[in-house]
């Protein structure tokens, strides 16, 4: 049985473990190598057996444990050319690392096909990933200021989706962040609000998505209750009932064992 396990998903760090049962991939390494190892083990995996590390973009909360991870495991790195260039510039790729960034947006590792798609974010080469496993499909899509048609097309019909619901607009506007940071987060190159995220839920459900995990919640500008309420309300307005027509949850550190069908 396939496993989709958000090891961490917040502004403090992001990493997701995906296993088909035969092949395992890691999406991002934004927490320490030690924490990644512990959480992968808790999810029933072995970090030494991952087929590749796929990086969405070069912001610290997605790559702070990357260099140690690549050095310790010898795993290949899969990322866009612009992301790789940024990581090399910052000396975050150990010598001898097998870097994979093919001309096409699709690669195959064992029995998992991974396809990347562009996201609207303020990092060179920022992308999300959709994975096709023998038992179903899943995707990681966070860190995007707007949802483009390309993103919708990439996520259409995905069985399980980790999707950003970063902030409550009022909490952000009236919160402690400096003005420039608020403007960045609210921009088309920033992060999705609960409202913007929830607006996409009916499309995903209509296309066949059965499990949605809300991710990358801000610890200062959001709460799980607010994110879940916005998503569930949007789904209800489209006629979908939570726990009947679909499953809805919030990603939390150490989460594991979410089945992909």
Ranges 7-11, 88-92, 157-161, 181-185: which has the least confidence: 7-11
For residues 14 and 10, give the distance between their C-alpha atoms in angstroms, rounded to a whole number. 6
Locus of tokens 């702070």? 64
Tell which CATH classification among 1.20.1050.10, 3.60.15.10, 3.30.70.3270, 1.20.120.1200 matches the domain 3-259.
3.60.15.10
Paired residues of 107 in beta bridges: 114
For residues 77 and 69, give the distance between their C-alpha atoms in angstroms, rounded to a whole number. 10
Phi and psi angles of residue 145, each rounded to the nearest 5 degrees, phi first: -80, -30
What is the average pLDDT value for the chain, to the nearest integer? Answer: 94
Locus of tokens 């310790």? 72
Q: What percent of the chain has pLDDT over 90?
A: 91
Contacts of 226 (CB under 8 A, 6+ apart): 168, 171, 194
pLDDT at site 253: 55
pLDDT digits (tens, 9 = 90+) for 7-62: 999 988 999 999 999 999 999 999 999 999 999 999 889 999 999 999 999 999 99
pLDDT at site 255: 58
What ranges do the domains of the chain cover? 3-259
pLDDT bucket at 105, cuts 50 / 70 / 90: confident
For residues 1 and 82, give the distance between their C-alpha atoms in angstroms, rounded to a whole number. 34
pLDDT bucket at 254, cuts 50 / 70 / 90: low
For residues 249 and 42, give the distance between their C-alpha atoms in angstroms, rounded to a whole number. 19
Q: Check whether 256 has a pLDDT greater than 90.
A: no
Half-sphere exposure of 78 (CA within 13 A, CB side): 24
């Amino acid at each position: 049985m396939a496993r989709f396990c958000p090891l961490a998903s917040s502004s403090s760090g992001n990493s997701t473990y995906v296993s088909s049962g035969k092949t395992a991939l890691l999406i991002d390494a934004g927490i320490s190598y030690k924490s990644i190892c512990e959480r992968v083990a808790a999810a029933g995996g072995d970090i030494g057996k991952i087929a590749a590390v796929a990086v969405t973009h070069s912001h610290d909360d997605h790559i702070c444990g990357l260099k140690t991870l690549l050095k310790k495991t010898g795993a290949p790195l899969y990322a866009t050319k612009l992301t790789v260039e940024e990581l090399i510039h910052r000396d975050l790729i150990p010598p001898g690392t097998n870097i994979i960034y093919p001309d096409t947006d699709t690669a195959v590792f064992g029995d998992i096909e991974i396809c990347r798609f562009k996201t609207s974010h303020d990092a060179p080469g920022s992308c999300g990933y959709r994975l096709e496993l023998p038992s179903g499909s899943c995707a990681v899509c966070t860190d995007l200021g707007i949802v483009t048609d390309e993103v919708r097309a990439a996520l259409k019909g995905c069985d399980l989706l980790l999707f950003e619901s970063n902030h409550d607009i009022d909490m952000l506007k009236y919160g402690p962040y400096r003005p420039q940071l608020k403007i960045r987060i609210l921009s088309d190159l920033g992060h999705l609000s609960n409202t913007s995220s929830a607006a996409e839920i009916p499309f995903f459900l209509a296309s066949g998505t059965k499990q949605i995990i809300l991710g990358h919640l801000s610890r200062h500008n959001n709460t799980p209750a607010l994110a879940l309420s916005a998503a569930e309300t949007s789904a209800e307005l489209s006629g979908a009932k939570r726990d009947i027509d679909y499953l809805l949850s919030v990603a939390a550190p150490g989460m594991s064992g979410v089945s992909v069908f």
